[in-house]
Each structure stands twice: as C-alpha cells, then as structure tokens.
Amino acid sequence: MKGLVVVFGLAAMVTLWGRVAAEPLFLGAEPTPRDSIILFDGKGLSEWTLLDGKPADWKLENDYMEVRGGNIRTKREFTDCQLHVEFRLPSMPSASGQGKANSGVYLQGRYEVQVLDSYGLKSQSNDCGGIYGVAAPMVNACRPPEQWQSYDIFFHAPRFKDGKQTGNARMSVLQNGVWIHDNVEIPGETTASAGGDLASPGPIMLQDHGNPIRYRNIWIRDLAADKH
C-alpha cells in the first residue's frame, strides 16, 4: 500500500476505495515518475512498429493516435513494468458485445487488458478492464464512450530459474484511478497473444480490432532488476 501512495498520491487513493469520483492523477498529464520512458506523446510513432517490423501507420491527429492497419508494438521490450495508457472509445450504439469499440493493451505482447465499451454493464473477463479470459475487474470503473479513460498497470513477468518456470505472470490494474485488479495470477498467454518465449522480454502491443479507438499519453517504467 505504501508504494501506491508514493506513486498515486492521496487523491488517487481516495478514488481507489470508490468514495469520490476524482479525476485520475495522470489523465492527460505529463508523466510524474522521473524514470518514465515516453512511448507516445502525440508527436509521432517512432517507438512503434507493426508486428512484421514495418513502420506503424496509425492515424495521428491532435496529440492522439487512432487504430488502423493492424496491431502495433513497441520497438523496446520489457518484463516487469508500470504502464500508463489513455484511450477514448467511439460511440457505437448499434453495436453490441465484442463488436462495440474493441481493442486491447498487451503486456509483453502476451497478456491482454481488454479495451471495450462496457459502460454500465456487469463486467466479465472479456469486458473493459478484464484480464482477457482470466479475471473480471473487481468493479466496473468504465466511463461512457467519447470520454478519455486511463489504465495504470503494474505487471510482473513470469519467473524462471535454471530454464524452468517457477511462477506465472501477475498483474494489478487501476482504471480511471479505481483499483480493479489486485495482483492477479495469469496462468498463460491470453487470446490473440503475439507469442514468443515466455522467459524473454516482450513489447507493449495495442490491438487493432477494426474499431477507431484513440490512444494518447503512453509511458512506462522499466522495473526489471537487471534492466535486460
């Protein structure tokens, strides 16, 4: 708990317990931690590629990028990390289920936190904030479409010793300043993973599911002890 106080401050802690509808601490703001790596600040996609290594060509406008043309991934790869990402969902009133403003944020390219218009629903593991197919959020913290939202994700990669896996990946997540996952164990890669050796670092991946999701203000802290 002390670590969360240091990172998020008192206002965010109040929001975690659901007592007020405060603005998430980092929403739309410059990253506070001094060791942050800027992955997207609205000025270009130099940190990103398509999965095949070709330049990322998502639409850039007004300090955000908009999904088009396939999944994108960071050129850098990570294991343990803290990730901040902001997203805005289009209003799609005629759509439903997984067809309603669908995308996803993948840690190591293998473990997805779902992005979807799930406002007002009883959340399942495939709804917004869900660790896809593994865990539903403890509470639905979604905002309506056409409002900016945020994820702050604390990720621990799988553990290995002498070539053998000794622990699964784990993840804690805040959505819009509300704590929705607490150190959840993830037994394996989630659906539509980019794959790869689980013992190796992997990229942050953003999913193209055919809907015009917008992303902005993406930064990460590399928390791996050896920094690869």
Q: Mind listing the pLDDT tens digit for each residue in 99-146? A: 999 999 999 999 999 999 999 999 999 999 999 999 999 999 999 999
Cα dist. 162→12, 19, 167, 199 in Å? 40, 46, 13, 11
Q: Mind listing the pLDDT tens digit for each residue in 45-80? A: 999 999 999 999 999 999 999 999 999 999 999 999
Q: What DSSP designation does 33 have?
A: S
- Residue-by-residue DSSP string for 86-146: EEEPPP-TT--GGGSS-EEEEETTTEEEEE---TTS---TTSTT-BTTTB--SS--PPPTT
Q: Which CATH superfamily is domain 2-222 in?
A: Exo-inulinase; domain 1 (2.60.120.560)
Task: Kindly report the pTM of this predicted structure.
Answer: 0.88
Q: How many Cα atoms occupy the beta-carbon half-sphere of 51 within 13 Å?
A: 16
CA–CA gap between residue 130 and residue 112 (Å, rounded): 8
